[in-house]
Structure 1
Amino acid sequence: MGELNHECGVAAVYHAAGPAVSTLAPISGDINSVTRMIPRMLLDMQNRGQLAAGMTSFHPGRTALLKTHKEVGTVAEAFRLNHKAKFEAIMRGQDGPAAIGHVRYATCGGADRSYAQPFEREHGRTAKWFAFAFNGQLANYQELKQELLDQGDYHLKRDTDTEILMHLLSHELQGEGLETDWQGVFSRLADRLDGAYNIVLLSAKGDLIVARDPLGFRPLCVAEHGPLFAAASESSPLANLGFQNIRSLEPGTMVIANRTGVRTERFAASPRRAHCFFEWIYFANVASTLDDRSVYLSRATLGEELARLEDVPLDPETIVVPVPDTAKAAADAMAFALGVRSVEGLMRNRYVGRTFIEGTADRAAKARLKYTPLPEVLAGKRVLLVEDSIVRSTTMRALVHEIRDRGGAREIHLRVACPPIIAPCFYGIDMSRRDELFATKFLNAPDGRISIEDQDRMAQELGADSLRYLPVEAIARAVSMSSDQLCRACITGQYPSNAGQKLYQLDISGGSKNKGANGKRAYEMTASSTTRSAT
């Protein structure tokens, strides 16, 4: 809906010594062309970020052992995919046997090119020259930032946790010799980081590192085929290239690929998991499988859960309408279970782009540009409108108004395939402060449970005839995972890390309101209210 935005996606590829692989598109017989896999993989993860895109490649025969290309814009814009000659020129400069890539949407930091990833840290010694890309968010960002500044000789160019992470990596590499102990580097790093962090790193010695944080907040998939190793934030980019036997990297583990081979090592203990449930119900490509759970089947199960709760009288004039596109699987499954039609009563203009890319101007006006109601489908109908989530509610208000006024719907019953969002996210999703979330104004129970009366008041506020959310316990059933394996902080207020919980308490206590004049969230405030915590 353009109200809920993800931070980014990462990709990596490595070609070890061995015969060329020609069975994976778009690889030819030249091992240097493996870097062409990166734009293709990023294109398949465009859903994870449209603000900027970039890549870094390694080639031992170049003066610039590491070479980075990144630009603001979509993957097609950053890599000039619609201009063959310019794309070829970019890729000729990026040839090599190893590369990493990134697509970005910002939860913090600016929107100019300097914030685009990968970040490259040049150094005269190849063991300390590296580039990396990062998916997630550090909940103890402000504390780590203050620790650096307190040393007196650090100057930070950007207001982002990615730069903090770059300096922390550089610090850990100081004591390393000619051969880097990457397991030791990331083990020490894990002792300092609280939050979500999937990292792909490429060194000027030709080492490729892929690491997933100990709680496994964000998905990270890996695959091998002959001498090729690849990683991506989702399974679909790997599957679309022809990789088989794709697996999710275990939390707290890393893959190290270099001239000695490809191996998986544990760098941190992982006593519990905190997989973000929103990956299955909203962010990930519907064709992906994450931690052995199908995104499509999870969304379909959400629709079945909605159907079990349905109490509106059904007749031949009742239809189910999804809000494109992420709610479609839930809507179709709900309609099938109820025995009514699922139809496309809203058409999405795919050339408008995601509304959050265009800043914070009138979201309602952008929603009217983005969606067109079809009177031929909606007029005179009782509409069960299925949406994946409601965050601020601005877009939903506009949609209900458009469906009733322009579409001519007789009744609009809003069905949300998610519990009410009652708390911010400090692990990589751009959710508002608690006092800006729609649901918090109506809930009486602190744990996110909601009464029928609360939902009726919310429906009236949105202009709908009724509204029903899924209960919190439905999420674990839909993802087929126990609740203690999921991060459900945004729907329960219970955070899986110490820094996250402290930021939430800061937000509740009024810290965000005190800073409201400049729009800061809790994680953008002073470090004094947070604490270091190893996840």
Structure 2
Amino acid sequence: MSELFHECGVAAIYHLNNVPDSPICTKQGPDEISRLMPRLLLDIQNRGQLAAGMTSYSAKRRQILKTRRDVGSVTEVFRLNHRAKSESLMKQLTGRAAIGHVRYATCGEDDRSYAQPFERKHIHKRKWFSFCFNGQLANYGLLRKRLTENGEHHLQLDTDTEIILHEIGRLLSESSGEPDWFELIREAIKDFDGAYCMALLTAKGELIIARDPLGMKPMCYANDGRVFVAASESVALLNLGFEPEQIHSLPAGHAILVDGNSMRIESIAPSPKTAHCFFEWVYFANVASTLDDRSVYLSRTRLGEELAKLEKADPRFDWDPEDTIVVPVPDTSKAAADSMAFNLGLPSREGLMRNRYAGRTFIENGIARKAKAARKYTPLREVLAGKKVILVEDSIVRSTTMNALLDRIREVGGAKEIHVRVACPPIIAPCFYGIDMSTIDQLIGPKYFANGKLTLEDQQRMADHLGCESLRYLPVEAIAQAIELPADKLCQACVTGEYPTPCGQHLYQIALDNPGSTTDASRTYEQLAAALASG
């Protein structure tokens, strides 16, 4: 599923007092805990490879908040391959607290201006803060119109992050004393419709972490009494040295306030229901992560079990382990493929090698993306030649990569037959909550499964289009079974067309009413913003 990318990931760290006896701080003193931020960001680099950045806090520094952000990977932005340059940067960013961000754009441009965190400088320390955000506001257009309609306000960037930044800044400007951060965040988010997790760091040394009322985006935290750490995924905390039992998911609709000596959690919005993004378990999250008490790895193995059940129930296929192999599309399909193969009594083989340095196919145009997709995987002829290949993939979004991959497996790998099995239902609707598939015309699924029904005939038509012998998707109900969460606690809008927020449903109707009128550069919610701006 190399055609599908998440928007970003968020991380934060804070040394709670001046006693450096936490096992997390064996090499970093209290005022140098910020040095661990690039390490945290590397562990969530899977969530965004376009840009990275961090802001550190040090009351001992003239520039109390200091931010570095740029286009590039974490390694590139923080010069991790050059020891002297990296050390120089980290000395400048030394601090007792830090927030960090990795980004892939679902809105706005691919330049440094959009890299996060965003810093709002002010002469009053209580109004000086830095902010980063993971998600997307479905009602961005409405919020933008409300902010700019009197002609007195101007937005520089086409991103909802700037909207949130100005909303928090406005509330701070209206406050006469020290802000009650829980109350301020409650007021800031009351009109938000969408998915978000955010981290905010002030020049007063306050750190705020917040999660939306639906819990659509994940946020994990840990506190050993000396060091507080939060990140979009638990694997970042685990690799820093926290024990699994110390790591928790922030409840939906809650925020954490860390002030240097203590940590408090409070509700910031009613959360009568949740809508966790199911794609976190299927694809986005690191396989070693646990999100909302559900293991990513175990969820993916259960998806493989569901695929095996469908295979056993279909009398058309009688697989012979002598000439049939199961091959995952690297890397996130491996758990499902191994599980499927085990349950069918078939060998699972790594018949595709991924070239990790082929470049980012998701930021190219269609022609360039297909050319790079062809170079991204190397088929192993000694594994594939003469075999019936059951190719297991996470999902098929635009079909560009799959078309190129099937050609390579047949021509270079010498496979006798290719049967595609997808550990996910067909994607038939856009996402307006932070995944890069915001228009219907980007998707291949609606061309074959617009009514949401998975018929054998429609799946075979798609197989013929892709160039494989057969194709099978999982039904929608298999997702909740694999994740072991009720369907009504998950956001499955992209596979059902049923959105958990009013504005999301409204945007979907706009997309349905205007098929084929949008491109990658003009996403549906940006169309809505333009329509509102023009009156």
Task: State the TM bucket, normalised to the shorter chain.
Answer: over 0.9
Aligned to 2:462: 458
Instruction: Tell me by how many angstroms 1:527 deviates.
Output: 3.9
Instruction: Tell me by how many angstroms 1:23 deviates.
Output: 1.4
Q: How far apart are the structure 2 equivalents of 1:181 and 1:22?
A: 29
Aligned to 2:525: 523
Distance 1:93 1:361, change over 3 A: farther
- Unmatched runs of 5 consecutive residues or more in structure 2: none
Q: How far apart are the structure 2 equivalents of 1:348 and 1:444?
A: 32
Instruction: Report which stretch shifted further, 16-25 or 390-399.
Output: 16-25
User: Does residue 133 in structure 1 map to residue 150 in structure 2?
Assistant: no
Aligned to 1:60: 59
Amino acid at match of 1:449: K
**Equivalence map 1:155-304=2 (5 Å):** 155-244=154-243, 245-304=246-305
Aligned to 1:326: 332
User: Does residue 492 in structure 1 map to residue 493 in structure 2?
Assistant: no
Work out whether residues 17 and 30 of structure 2, in 8 Å CA contact, stay in contact via their aligned partners in 1: no
Q: How far apart are the structure 2 equivalents of 1:525 and 1:96?
A: 42
- The C-alpha deviation readout for 1:379-431, integer Å capped at 9, x for no partner, is 11011000000001011011111111111111100000000000000000001
Aligned to 1:369: 375
SS of residue in 1 equivalent to 2:90:
helix
Amino acid at match of 1:216: G
Distance 1:29 1:382, change over 3 A: closer
Work out whether residues 21 and 29 of structure 1, in 8 Å CA contact, stay in contact via their aligned partners in 2: no
Aligned to 1:143: 142
Work out whether residues 32 and 95 of structure 1, in 8 Å CA contact, stay in contact via their aligned partners in 2: yes
TM-score when scaled to structure 1?
A: 0.96
Aligned to 1:533: none
Q: How far apart are the structure 1 equivalents of 2:13 and 2:366?
A: 36
Q: How far apart are the structure 1 equivalents of 2:521 and 2:109?
A: 14
Distance 1:76 1:361, change over 3 A: farther
Q: How far apart are the structure 2 equivalents of 1:23 and 1:238?
A: 13
TM-score when scaled to structure 2?
A: 0.96
Instruction: Tell me by how many angstroms 1:358 deviates.
Output: 4.5
Aligned to 1:388: 394
Work out whether residues 444 and 450 of structure 1, in 8 Å CA contact, stay in contact via their aligned partners in 2: no
Work out whether residues 46 and 285 of structure 2, in 8 Å CA contact, stay in contact via their aligned partners in 1: yes
User: Does residue 412 in structure 1 map to residue 413 in structure 2?
Assistant: no
Work out whether residues 370 and 404 of structure 2, in 8 Å CA contact, stay in contact via their aligned partners in 1: yes
Aligned to 2:93: 94
User: Does residue 351 in structure 1 map to residue 357 in structure 2?
Assistant: yes
Aligned to 2:513: 509
Instruction: Tell me by how many angstroms 1:179 deviates.
Output: 1.9
Work out whether residues 417 and 470 of structure 1, in 8 Å CA contact, stay in contact via their aligned partners in 2: yes
Work out whether residues 22 and 28 of structure 1, in 8 Å CA contact, stay in contact via their aligned partners in 2: no
Amino acid at match of 2:78: F
Instruction: Tell me by how many angstroms 1:515 deviates.
Output: 4.8
Instruction: Tell me by how many angstroms 1:353 deviates.
Output: 3.4
Instruction: Tell me by how many angstroms 1:21 deviates.
Output: 3.2
Q: How far apart are the structure 2 equivalents of 1:224 and 1:250?
A: 15
- The C-alpha deviation readout for 1:92-137, integer Å capped at 9, x for no partner, is 1111111100000000011111110000011111111100100000
Instruction: Tell me by how many angstroms 1:359 deviates.
Output: 5.2
Q: How far apart are the structure 1 equivalents of 2:506 and 2:274?
A: 19
Work out whether residues 56 and 94 of structure 2, in 8 Å CA contact, stay in contact via their aligned partners in 1: yes
Aligned to 2:20: 20
Instruction: Tell me by how many angstroms 1:450 deviates.
Output: 1.3
Aligned to 1:476: 480
Aligned to 2:318: 313
Instruction: Tell me by how many angstroms 1:434 deviates.
Output: 0.9
Instruction: Report which stretch shifted further, 94-103 or 183-192.
Output: 183-192
Q: Percent same amino acid at aligned positions?
A: 59
SS of residue in 1 equivalent to 2:23:
coil
Distance 1:452 1:32, change over 3 A: same
Amino acid at match of 2:295: S
Instruction: Tell me by how many angstroms 1:36 deviates.
Output: 1.1
Matched residue count: 526
Amino acid at match of 2:230: A
Work out whether residues 257 and 265 of structure 2, in 8 Å CA contact, stay in contact via their aligned partners in 1: yes
Instruction: Tell me by how many angstroms 1:151 deviates.
Output: 2.6
Work out whether residues 221 and 234 of structure 1, in 8 Å CA contact, stay in contact via their aligned partners in 2: yes
Amino acid at match of 1:66: L
Amino acid at match of 2:5: N
Distance 1:444 1:153, change over 3 A: closer
Instruction: Tell me by how many angstroms 1:362 deviates.
Output: 2.4
- The C-alpha deviation readout for 1:4-38, integer Å capped at 9, x for no partner, is 0000000001111241035126x425212210111
Instruction: Tell me by how many angstroms 1:176 deviates.
Output: 2.3
Instruction: Tell me by how many angstroms 1:361 deviates.
Output: 4.2
Instruction: Tell me by how many angstroms 1:528 deviates.
Output: 8.4
Amino acid at match of 2:424: C
Work out whether residues 138 and 504 of structure 2, in 8 Å CA contact, stay in contact via their aligned partners in 1: yes
Q: How far apart are the structure 1 equivalents of 2:222 and 2:418?
A: 45
- Unmatched runs of 5 consecutive residues or more in structure 1: 531-535
Work out whether residues 502 and 529 of structure 1, in 8 Å CA contact, stay in contact via their aligned partners in 2: no
Q: How far apart are the structure 1 equivalents of 2:294 and 2:12?
A: 22
Q: How far apart are the structure 2 equivalents of 1:170 and 1:254?
A: 18
Q: How far apart are the structure 2 equivalents of 1:48 and 1:134?
A: 13
SS of residue in 1 equivalent to 2:184:
helix
SS of residue in 1 equivalent to 2:24:
coil
Work out whether residues 195 and 426 of structure 1, in 8 Å CA contact, stay in contact via their aligned partners in 2: yes
SS of residue in 2 equivalent to 1:429:
coil
Amino acid at match of 1:346: L
Distance 1:30 1:436, change over 3 A: closer
Work out whether residues 209 and 256 of structure 2, in 8 Å CA contact, stay in contact via their aligned partners in 1: yes
Q: How far apart are the structure 1 equivalents of 2:400 and 2:5?
A: 15
Work out whether residues 249 and 292 of structure 2, in 8 Å CA contact, stay in contact via their aligned partners in 1: yes
SS of residue in 2 equivalent to 1:420:
coil
Instruction: Tell me by how many angstroms 1:443 deviates.
Output: 1.9
- The C-alpha deviation readout for 1:60-101, integer Å capped at 9, x for no partner, is 111111100111100000000000111111111111111100
Amino acid at match of 1:71: D
